[in-house]
Structure 1
């Protein structure tokens, strides 16, 4: 199991754990709401029975209140301070209401009549007693408890999203600092030995200037040192705002192709557009852009094992210029099309997995473009596409 599979599995476990916590919390809140609803239902029954007893006695004997003890009944009626109640007559008009949020509402017949209509429309079954109908609503606490799972879910979801964005941003910032520090330190470390090699080359020139073979070797050494200087210069540009200049993209591709073709097997053929026949201007930093193309070509050569074909195609739309680099190598499984750009991902035994990650950073952060695997299947080669903004005319 590689690092990214392990990281994905850890994220999956955390997601399941978070989901389980949310589901349990919502279930428990809903359970408590149902329990409270049962308690309120029992309370409404006591209220209805007390009211029914009073109505029954008054119906049979209007003067019963003078000698009957209704203390318990009134205590039951007065103990209800949370459950909204409406008592309506047989004509459907409100006689009395309580616990609707304020004393003003409890005495406002127009308001109570509207609430009564809502209760009837919701299917609330009244308790009938001697020509009156008693309707009960849900208490504020029960209503809030019913909506709380939704609020809770939104709050937890918002917290998770905010936390993920914050952590991701922090991690990305830290990665950027590591990249920049590593690149500049590499450039610094290369600088000293390169300067020493240049001095030794000049010394060799002076030792045997008349020897053609020696001069040829010195010339090749100088070419390689220039290449090292270019690499050091590329590393030093990481983390700094690169200077972009308009160039013919076909010409730049041809330069990269010529350099890599000399170092590739003779059984590998390169098919690139002729820079003398085509012209499209793109703003790039040539040293960094060449690094991108060389990385893609080097990966293509590694994937073909010394035999195959590498081709380039350039096309455009009104806003972008697109460069397709295609090889006939081993290809990339569909599941790895995005993972190939992650730092540390590699299929090579001795690879570091930094080439394509650095390539993506150069294209997207320094040139404002995009790079992605356009198409690839295992054993059928791969096509990488680079999109770059067109030069404003």
Structure 2
């Protein structure tokens, strides 16, 4: 069964793909405009070069006022006119420095020469050269698409973050509301069951049966208590992690398939962790159930505890079918499940309890298809 978030994930990728297409289209259109403007500037400079040639012409029919108007009409394109020895004859739209003018002019000639060159045949056996740069407008247009795209991507990123935080807040409300309502709904039948157990004690019924019923009622009370703590700040207390794991597994060992073997490798000395024992037991139970499902009711589960500096690591390893690497993070999403039945909330709940209520971490340490998976929990060690 696919996760209920898969469709939303696909929509996210479609949105990203569409944004990339729009960005590429914007760059292509901008590139076309830039090339068109560069061609127009080239034509303008060719006209300017021709006007320069005409200033040396002895043809009386030449309208010098028009020639001068063309030469003066260039107010945006930096240009240098040089002779065949690259000595500057004139320059326009270039600001000269107060010092080292000659060195600046030589450097500027070499710079513009490498960009755009127009050769003027003076028709007397000599040549002049027009070296020019892109106009300020063209330079701004070259930068503009990238600035525009940067702004667009920033807004997209902000939108994603806002949507993610809104989605998370909504999920939190759903979790808390569902948990509180579940605890409330369990309260009435639990009270009724307690009363029935007390009533049955007055009858001639096997005490061992009543004892088992009482255990199940207490179990329901524990479950209701756990749900009631979701959304609140349960008071943590120093607890020996080894003992907490033993207690949780002692309950689970009689309620899973006899074909599943549970092994524990705990530390010789107690390790104190500041936590809520009831909620942590819920974590162990869910991980155990998840492992049993992954092994289809047959295999081995190993709990290993080790201490590294200020961190306590709990590795939970099963011999199940494994998890694809691409799903290492997805398995913790609410709704993710591979079973035909179920809501897919077990691992999501585990992650929430470990991270939100104990300030720890849980992740898939390793997994191999057909061999099994190892989940790792990391908690801070408590210092007295």
Q: Structures share a fold, TM > 0.5?
A: yes
Post-superposition Cα deviations, 1:217-261, rounded to whole Å, max 9, x if no partner, equal 332222111111111111111111222222111101100110011
1:182 aligned residue (161, 178, 183): 178
Match of residue 173 from structure 1: 169
Match of residue 261 from structure 2: 269
CA positional deviation for 1:267: 2.6
Match of residue 66 from structure 2: 72
RMSD: 2.6
1:225 aligned residue (203, 213, 217): 217
Per the alignment, in what secondary structure is the counterpart of residue 388 of structure 1?
strand
Change in Cα spacing, 1:298 to 1:109, as seen in structure 2 (3 Å) is closer
The whole-number CA distance in structure 2 between the counterparts of 1:107 and 1:293 is 76
Match of residue 356 from structure 1: 347
1:48 aligns with 2:68: no
The whole-number CA distance in structure 2 between the counterparts of 1:370 and 1:92 is 70
The whole-number CA distance in structure 1 between the counterparts of 2:376 and 2:224 is 26
5 Å matches for 1:1-393? 2=2, 3-57=4-58, 69-88=63-82, 92=86, 94-100=88-94, 105=95, 114=104, 117-122=107-112, 123=114, 124-125=116-117, 127-128=119-120, 129=122, 133-205=129-201, 207-208=202-203, 211=204, 213=206, 215-273=207-265, 277-392=268-383
Structure 1 portions without partners, runs of 5+: none
The whole-number CA distance in structure 1 between the counterparts of 2:136 and 2:319 is 70
Query: TM-score when scaled to structure 2?
Result: 0.89
Bigger drift between 308-317 and 357-366 goes to 308-317
CA positional deviation for 1:168: 1.1
CA positional deviation for 1:158: 1.8
Per the alignment, in what secondary structure is the counterpart of residue 56 of structure 2?
helix
The whole-number CA distance in structure 2 between the counterparts of 1:115 and 1:152 is 35
Structure 2 portions without partners, runs of 5+: none
The whole-number CA distance in structure 2 between the counterparts of 1:285 and 1:241 is 10
Per the alignment, in what secondary structure is the counterpart of residue 195 of structure 2?
helix
CA positional deviation for 1:139: 0.7
CA positional deviation for 1:132: 5.4
The whole-number CA distance in structure 1 between the counterparts of 2:142 and 2:266 is 71
Query: TM-score when scaled to structure 1?
Result: 0.87
Per the alignment, in what secondary structure is the counterpart of residue 331 of structure 1?
coil
The whole-number CA distance in structure 2 between the counterparts of 1:226 and 1:167 is 41
The whole-number CA distance in structure 2 between the counterparts of 1:265 and 1:169 is 41
The whole-number CA distance in structure 1 between the counterparts of 2:91 and 2:373 is 76
What is the aligned residue count? 377
Per the alignment, in what secondary structure is the counterpart of residue 235 of structure 1?
helix
CA positional deviation for 1:11: 2.4
